[in-house]
């Protein structure tokens, strides 16, 4: 696993894999370790949960979903999980956009005030 110093865009995500068994841990870990920006993977096999830490400027939750479902592990599909995963995707898209932004839109507030007083 690529250990990267946690920066501004490091996020922690929790997901549930209902079909995960004890012998799946190493295969899941191998799949997720190939993703750029993955920092930490913690398994709770008894509760069928995975806690992930990754750099959202380099990796999005949608990529994690694709890797896991492509390898045959389906994420929990209850209402709460679907809402949480949609929220993760939204947050990761914002983090990526912020990481790629050139600068603040209001870097020179004197222009704002000058236009307001005309």
Domain residue ranges of the chain, discontinuous segments joined by +: 10-116
- What per-residue confidence (pLDDT) applies to 11? 94
pLDDT tens figures, 49-90: 999 999 999 999 999 999 999 999 999 999 999 999 999 999
CA distance 12 to 29: 16
Please say if the pLDDT value at position 112 is more than 90: no
Confidence of residue 2 (pLDDT cuts 50, 70, 90): very low
∠90-7-69 over CA atoms, to 5°? 45
The token pair that represents 88 in the structure block: 């993760």
Write the CB contacts of 1 (distance below 8 Å, at least 6 apart in sequence): 29, 33, 38, 39, 40, 41
Distance in angstroms (rounded) separating the CA atoms of residues 23 and 46:
12
Q: Which fold has domain 10-116?
A: Alpha-Beta Plaits (3.30.70)
User: pLDDT for 82-98, tens place per residue?
Assistant: 999 999 999 999 999 88
pTM reported for the whole predicted model: 0.76
Confidence grade of residue 4 (pLDDT, cut at 50, 70, 90): very low
Q: Residue 103 class from Cβ within 10 Å (0-12 exposed, 13-18 middle, 19+ buried)? A: exposed
What is the rounded CA–CA span in Å between residue 4 and residue 22?
Answer: 27
The pLDDT assigned to 98 comes to: 86
Cα–Cα distance for residue pair 35/63, rounded to 1 Å: 8
Confidence class of residue 100 from pLDDT cuts 50, 70 and 90?
confident
């Amino acid at each position: 696993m690529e250990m990267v110093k946690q920066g501004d865009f490091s996020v922690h995500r929790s997901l549930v894999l209902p079909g995960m068994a004890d012998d799946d841990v190493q295969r899941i870990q191998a799949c997720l370790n190939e993703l750029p920006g993955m920092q930490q993977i913690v398994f709770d096999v008894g509760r069928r949960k995975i806690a992930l830490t990754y750099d959202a400027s380099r990796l999005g939750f949608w990529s994690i979903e694709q890797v896991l479902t492509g390898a045959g592990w389906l994420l929990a599909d209850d209402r709460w999980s679907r809402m949480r995963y949609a929220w993760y995707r939204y947050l990761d898209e914002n983090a990526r956009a912020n990481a790629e932004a050139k600068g603040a839109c209001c870097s020179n507030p004197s222009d704002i005030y000058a236009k307001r007083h005309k």
